[in-house]
Structure 1
Amino acid sequence: MNNFKRIFSFILPYKKYAYLNIFFNILYALFSTLSFMALIPMMQVLFDQAKRNTIRPTYQGIWELKDFAEAYLSYFITHTTDTLGVGYTLSIMVTVIISIFLLKNVSDYLALFFITFLRNGILRDMRNAMYKKTIELPLAFFSEKRKGDVIARISGDVNEVQASFLSILELAVKEPLTIVFTIIMMLTISPKLTLFVFIFIPVSGYVISLIGKQLKRQSTKAQEEQGVFLSTIEETLGGLKVVKGYNAEQYFNGIFTESTNRFFKLSNSIGNRQNLASPMSEFMGIMVIAILLWYGGSMVLIEKTLNGASFIAYMGLAYNILTPAKAISKASYSIKRGNAAAERVLEILDQQNPITSKKNALQKTNFESVIAIKNINFRYEDENVLKDFSLEVKKGQTVALVGQSGSGKSTIANLLTRFYDVNQGEISIDDTNIKDLDLHSLRALMGLVTQDSILFNDTIKANIALGKLDATDAEVIEALKIANAYEFVTDLPKGIYTNIGDSGNKLSGGQKQRLSIARAVLKNPPIMILDEATSALDTESEKFVQVALENMMQNRTSIVIAHRLSTIQKADVIVVMQKGKIVEQGTHEQLIAQNGTYNKLVTLQSFE
């Protein structure tokens, strides 16, 4: 119930649909009960058991309502039969019964009609909230979680909450009210017989609870397993070239098959437990009805304390309890499954994001003088990646960071953009700590070109315009020209409106990287961060991209993380890093003259 309370905030925008659903469920429960009660006078007429009453009764108050209703009904039957005949009386009663059943089914439809808007509205809002939260969470979160597991939560678990967990709305009104109204009517017919029904409900509930005890734990395991095989799909599709190139299809197929087999066994166990609820509750109900038939039959035939028509209607009412009782048992299982799914959904929604803007964060629209990195320490897990690291980048400078893999170069880019936060020390722009800046405005100051060209399954224009969503075709084309990409784009079938496929797979590596550069150019930020932007390219592509980078870096402050040293010889300052520390810095010529670490790196690459 605690999880349901927390999901309740998603229900509030749709409360009018919830109220309408409750209203029509009340009507359904009422008409469902009346439909059986309406059979009593009809059967009394059929079997000629109706009491004759020629005196019209008078209403004496609510406490005498039952006696008044019985007296008025017998008066109506007597009067109508005497004046218009028994056939007319029967036709009126049949019309009343049909009308009650019609109203019952119309109420049921309208209750379902309105709850459909509520269910689907909650599904949409929860999915939107999950997606919004997912893209807001820091990169560190996804280094611990499988992407497939997150996808499973947004798709499968949210759907389970909508389909299963929200059945509590039906459970709370429709079925219990049907049982309550039915029992009230049964008590009016025979309190003695109704005692047997009170035995059935708690016993049935206890048996069903025993069956469903393990359901929530198994449902959690099944949903986690779904995350595993979705992750396998996502990873193998992303790395299909490697899978095929290493003939590893059988290996990954084995991993996937093992996961789906575990899911198969869990699903069978869960399904079988759920399927047991309905026959178990129905069997227990029939047992009680058998006892009612025996005891009620003796009251009709031997004791003569109950008439036949009332007994038949009573049995109908008793059976009427079975359907909602079965529904409650099924819903209780669904709630256990939904509860497990809700926990997984809420785990994401409740996830704290440590990298956010402060309450009164400063807005900054331009870069004026200097980026200062002061005595920072940073670790991803246990060991420090950067140790007491300090660096100044002045406006208009191109500063290159070089060093062996693992020296901490890319970490600088991650910290400047606040993908991660420093553990100690401070990074400031124009003497303002970046933690005091609004996160959106901080990232608006920076353009980022990464080693992996991250493109989306959309048109060239849509990919480039991410940095400026209202960009015109002319602005996109100008950015493409600066990025040395316009020539190959004009050869494509639809120019800038050509779809480039999943991750831009219709293009070569060099073409993809030039589009990434064009995206950064169009954004036109004052600070540019290039994270090994040419390291994955062949020599010819690198020449095109290097020209594009030089065009882009003109009149900008640039921080270049470089693997190929030939690309950064013109940098104003080259910073040589080793194990998270600066070991050398200066221009290309100065560092060569020092004959130190940088010179060794250049010599090694020259041999290569």
Structure 2
Amino acid sequence: MISFVKEFRRINLIVQKYSYNKSYLLCLILSKIVFEVIELLPPLLYLVFIKNVIEEGNATYLKFVVIGYCCVFLAESLFKVLLQVIENKISCMFELKIQCKILESICRNPNSEFDTGELKQRVEDDVQQTVLYINDYTDYLVNLLGFGIVVLIMLKMSILFTMISLILIPISFLCTKYTNKKITNTQVLYREKYAEYEDFLFESLRSFREIKSNRLEQECTERFDSFWKALSGLFIRNHIYWFLNRGFIAFKDVFLTKMALFFIGGIMVIQKIISVSILLVFMDYYEKLTEYILSMTDLNAQLVKRQVSIKKVQEFLEKEHNTTKSCCLNGNIVLKHVSHKYENEMVIEDCSFTIKEHSYTAIVGASGEGKSTIARIILGIEPIAEGKIIVGNTNINNYDRYYSRKNMGAVLQNSGLFNVSIRENLLFGNPNATEQQIWDACKNAQIAELILALPEKLDTLIGEKGIKLSGGQKQRLLLARVFLQKNSYLILDEAVSALDSNTEHVVMKNIIENNQHQTLLIISHKLSSIIDADDIILFHDHKVVTRGTHKQLIANSTLYKQLWETQIGGKKNDC
């Protein structure tokens, strides 16, 4: 059986953390209790009918029995509708709130902890299972209360007969312990495998053009089949345990015990220990008792299975955000002994440098040196493994990253566009932007002429991830979007890498001229695009090896000079 105290604490945590409306929950439980009590009244009316009308021949009671049955029917119908309304309202309200809270928690924490499939499962499946868990838990409590009421009624009829009927009940729960454990283990394996499958499916659908171009259709089909073979096996195994559990209880409680009770009850009637009316009504209540046992057994199995999901949801609740919601970030960005690694591979090692406020800083170096990781760490997309980042005079970990990112505009290498119109994509940067501001941003990003040439102009749909645009057009649209934000800090990671030289030159000039009051950080492998930077930081072997202006580095850094000459073909006069 489940631990009532432990599960109550778990549900209470969710109720408090997710602003679950306790009055609705209390109303739901009370309605279920009243409904169960009403359902227990018909056997008592049946007892009155047999004892007073049939056995004693008193027709006066017949009127009360008929009126009683009519009242019970009306009350049952009314509370059934009420229960459905309350349950639906609570489920919808709670599911919406918990999904919003989880999405908010995802935004405030580095998202490298989970893959796409697992995040989707958290937001959709685990939330639904948590809602069902609370409903099942309330049903379990109500069934347990109903069980207690029925036992009291049966004891009132005959203590001896009740004790005989209750002897085998504890065995039911002992025998289900093994199957419940198997159900839990199977459910954990199923969830893990299904998360892998969803991640694979998402990546396959997103990259179907690459799959076709590399002739990987057969490999994807085989992998898809392997996932479903594994999932089917786990699904069938889970249901086998459930049916074994249910079948054993049904056979023992419904067949063997009921047959034995009729035999014992018949003997007790013959010996005049109980009357025929008591036996008939007693067996009616015992049937109700059996229903409660079967229901609690099923609910217990469901609660055990859903504990896997509710524990996953609980992980988000236990992540406290002891941070300030300040949205006024300003000052220098100071990295102190920052290190980071993916699995066992070091990508940044003991990096310390300062990005001065309102300055133009560039980070350069070969591919794989950790330049992009620096940007993601500053933005809070990646966690800080070692060291710290100070903004102004405050550790950036003391800021709520959700709010601190509102001060930071960024175009990263993997920044994406949405399958909506150009206008809607731009307004994601600033929903309150005017038409003039939109066109000014587009002009600065050198994409206004392209948009004007389109039949629908700003209302043109660009397809999933901007598939209808070229690489350079996507980058310019992303730049236009970030220009609309007017943030204190602007971080660009290879944001002009797909542009031709002339367009790149104009865009970079506009970035510098129009963002003089911003702290600008540009990451690039093309040195020609950052020669005007106030400070250039050179990465090598995952460390900062030198820094300075372009002219200083050409004069003092052999490594930088080699990179420069390699890229411009030895035209030293450009320096």
TM-score, normalised relative to structure 2: 0.87
Q: Which amino acid aligns with 1:295?
A: I
Instruction: Please state how far the C-alpha of 1:99 moved relative to its aligned partner.
Output: 2.5
Distance 2:554 2:37 in 1: 92
1:185–1:538 Cα change, 3 Å: same
1:519–1:205 Cα change, 3 Å: same
Contact 1:376 1:422 in 2 (8 A): no
Name which of 11, 32, 35 aligns with 1:28.
Answer: 35
Q: Deviations over 1:485-524 (max 9, x none)?
A: 1222233444323343322223221111111111121112
Distance 1:7 1:322 in 2: 28
Instruction: Please state how far the C-alpha of 1:128 moved relative to its aligned partner.
Output: 1.8
1:576 alignment partner, SS class:
strand
Contact 1:373 1:389 in 2 (8 A): no
Please show how residues 247-286 of structure 1 align to structure 2 within 5 Å. 247-285=215-253, 286=255
Distance 1:436 1:183 in 2: 58
Contact 1:449 1:529 in 2 (8 A): yes
Query: Does residue 379 in structure 1 map to residue 340 in structure 2?
Result: yes
Instruction: Please state how far the C-alpha of 1:35 moved relative to its aligned partner.
Output: 0.3
Name which of 441, 445, 449 aligns with 1:487.
Answer: 449
1:406 alignment partner, SS class:
coil
Contact 2:372 2:493 in 1 (8 A): yes
Name which of 324, 346, 369 aligns with 1:407.
Answer: 369
Instruction: Please state how far the C-alpha of 1:232 moved relative to its aligned partner.
Output: 0.6
**Counterpart in 1 of 2:56?**
50
Contact 1:35 1:101 in 2 (8 A): no
Max Rg structure:
1
Instruction: Please state how far the C-alpha of 1:92 moved relative to its aligned partner.
Output: 4.6
Please show how residues 141-290 of structure 1 align to structure 2 within 5 Å. 142=112, 144-164=113-133, 166-173=135-142, 175-285=143-253, 286-290=255-259
1:226 alignment partner, SS class:
helix
Q: Deviations over 1:536-556 (max 9, x none)?
A: x263xx543442232122152
Contact 1:3 1:339 in 2 (8 A): no
**Counterpart in 1 of 2:13?**
9
Contact 1:483 1:548 in 2 (8 A): yes
2:490 alignment partner, SS class:
strand
Q: Deviations over 1:455-500 (max 9, x none)?
A: 2233323322333232222221221121111222233444323343
Instruction: Please state how far the C-alpha of 1:588 moved relative to its aligned partner.
Output: 4.0
2:241 alignment partner, SS class:
helix
Contact 1:153 1:227 in 2 (8 A): no
Please show how residues 531-546 of structure 1 align to structure 2 within 5 Å. 531-535=493-497, 537=498, 539=500, 543-546=502-505
Instruction: Please state how far the C-alpha of 1:405 moved relative to its aligned partner.
Output: 1.4
Distance 1:389 1:27 in 2: 66
Instruction: Please state how far the C-alpha of 1:364 moved relative to its aligned partner.
Output: 3.5
Contact 2:14 2:314 in 1 (8 A): no
**Counterpart in 2 of 1:293?**
262
Distance 1:559 1:23 in 2: 60
Q: Deviations over 1:161-198 (max 9, x none)?
A: 2224530111101x223222222222222222212221
**Counterpart in 2 of 1:71?**
none
Distance 1:444 1:29 in 2: 52
Contact 1:399 1:558 in 2 (8 A): yes
Distance 1:105 1:323 in 2: 20
Distance 1:560 1:498 in 2: 30
Contact 1:216 1:337 in 2 (8 A): yes
Matched residue count: 558
Contact 1:408 1:579 in 2 (8 A): no
**Counterpart in 2 of 1:86?**
none
TM-score, normalised relative to structure 1: 0.83
Query: Does residue 124 in structure 1 map to residue 85 in structure 2?
Result: no
Instruction: Please state how far the C-alpha of 1:239 moved relative to its aligned partner.
Output: 2.4
**Counterpart in 2 of 1:55?**
none
Query: Does residue 114 in structure 1 map to residue 86 in structure 2?
Result: yes
Q: Deviations over 1:202-238 (max 9, x none)?
A: 1222223333222212111111111111111122223
**Counterpart in 2 of 1:37?**
44
Contact 2:338 2:352 in 1 (8 A): no
**Counterpart in 2 of 1:324?**
292
Instruction: Please state how far the C-alpha of 1:575 moved relative to its aligned partner.
Output: 3.4
- Percent identical pairs in the alignment equals 25
1:447 alignment partner, SS class:
strand
**Counterpart in 1 of 2:573?**
none
**Counterpart in 1 of 2:428?**
466
1:182–1:239 Cα change, 3 Å: same
Q: Deviations over 1:31-71 (max 9, x none)?
A: 22220111123234664x117xxxxxxxxxxxxxxxxxxxx
Contact 1:29 1:181 in 2 (8 A): no
1:295–1:498 Cα change, 3 Å: same
User: For structure 1, which runs of at least 5 residues remain unmatched after alignment?
Assistant: 52-76, 81-88
Query: Does residue 476 in structure 1 map to residue 438 in structure 2?
Result: yes
**Counterpart in 2 of 1:73?**
none
Distance 2:402 2:129 in 1: 34
**Counterpart in 1 of 2:507?**
548
1:262–1:190 Cα change, 3 Å: same
Name which of 542, 549, 561 aligns with 2:523.
Answer: 561
Distance 2:363 2:535 in 1: 9
Instruction: Please state how far the C-alpha of 1:282 moved relative to its aligned partner.
Output: 2.6
Distance 2:261 2:488 in 1: 85
Contact 2:418 2:466 in 1 (8 A): yes
Contact 2:109 2:401 in 1 (8 A): no
1:579–1:283 Cα change, 3 Å: same
Distance 1:334 1:425 in 2: 45
1:304–1:503 Cα change, 3 Å: same
Instruction: Please state how far the C-alpha of 1:417 moved relative to its aligned partner.
Output: 3.4
Distance 2:273 2:475 in 1: 91
